[in-house]
Homo-oligomer: A and B are copies of this chain.
Amino acid sequence: MDRLFHALADTTRRDILRRCVRGELSVSRLAEAYPMSFAAVQKHVAVLERAGLVTKQRSGREQLVRTDPDAVGRARQALDELESAWRGRVDRMARLLADEPRSDEPGSDEPRTSTPRAFDPDEKNTTEGSER
């Protein structure tokens, strides 16, 4: 997740993604379009690749870059969930599922003495992840 959003947090990288929407492009082809060195573009592509947003496929001596729709879909969905939660949709659903009449309210009391909630790794996602 971190890697996914990080990859998207750069104008050049988003532009590369958009460029590859219409079809595979070799890295050098891509590099021609930006005011930076080939190596720099190469690195950007590597970031996108580690994030699972694109895949490279060798064709002759060229390396074609192609986007992976599903990866973007995953990111979009994550935001979707967040947004839903916000709007309370999930809240009602959760209450239904747990038939908890009323409780978890952060209302005001809840003397935080007990469990400060030790930080939760991250979402319940189980997609992948390791390395960096």
CB contacts under 8 Å to B, within A74-132, are: 75-76, 79-80, 82-83, 85-87, 91, 94, 97-98, 104-107, 112, 116-123
Please tell me if the beta carbons of B82 and A29 are within 8 angstroms of each other in the complex.
no
Range for the number of chain A residues in contact with chain B: 35 or more
A60 within 8 A of B: no
With the chains together, A38 CA to B10 CA distance in Å? Answer: 28
Known: A5-B8, A32-B112, A76-B83. 17 other contacts (CB 8 A): A3-B9, A5-B10, A8-B9, A8-B79, A9-B9, A15-B119, A15-B122, A18-B98, A21-B94, A22-B106, A23-B107, A33-B117, A35-B118, A69-B87, A75-B79, A76-B76, A76-B80
